[in-house]
Amino acid sequence: MSKDLALFVLRLSGFGLAFGHGWQKIAMLSSGGGDRFVAGVEALGFPMPLAFAWAAGLAELVGGLAIALGIGTRIAASFAAFTMFVATMFRHHLPQHILVWLGVLSVPEDVVDSWGNPERAASYMLIFMALVLMGGGRFALDRFLKRDKK
């Protein structure tokens, strides 16, 4: 019971991803804006940056809602975890942050500041990786929907 409650609490992070990040990206892209976001995706080396920008926004918005509700939790968490992996490792330069922190890499402070803080994306990534491994738990809508089919 406590494991299922813990999974429910972890799944609630999906609402934060969906409304804190995904909604903004989708609203921006659907209104014809988002040039800066698309340029950032292109700078990461993704082909068809507009399509990948939409994919990231949808992984956050739709995936975050699915995770929170417990609908296709493992699949939605996989897409969200991948999106957060890209944000953590490439957009926010986590490996370089670690090397700077250890004193192995010397980078001007303004450059490090321009990378942004990888902590939030890394936290989301770890939460979603746990949900990929554990599933949504007893309080996920998937469980109730399966029960109705039987």
Q: What is the pLDDT of residues 77-123, one digit of tens each?
A: 999 999 999 988 888 777 888 888 888 888 888 887 877 788 888 99
What range defines the domain where residue 18 resides? Answer: 2-149
Place of tokens 């192995």: 104
Q: Does 27 score more than 80 pLDDT?
A: yes
Q: How many domains would you assign to the chain?
A: 1
* Residue 17 CA to its chain's centroid (Å): 6
Q: What is the DSSP letter of 138?
A: T
> What pTM was computed for the model?
0.84
The full DSSP string for 17-32 is HIIIIIHHHHHHHHTT
**How would residue 29 be classed by pLDDT, with cut points 50, 70 and 90?**
very high
Q: What is the DSSP letter of 44?
A: T
Residues 6+ apart with CB under 8 A from 138: 1, 4, 7
Residue 74's identity, in one-letter code, is R
pLDDT at residue number 148 = 58
- The token pair that represents 56 in the structure block: 């990231």
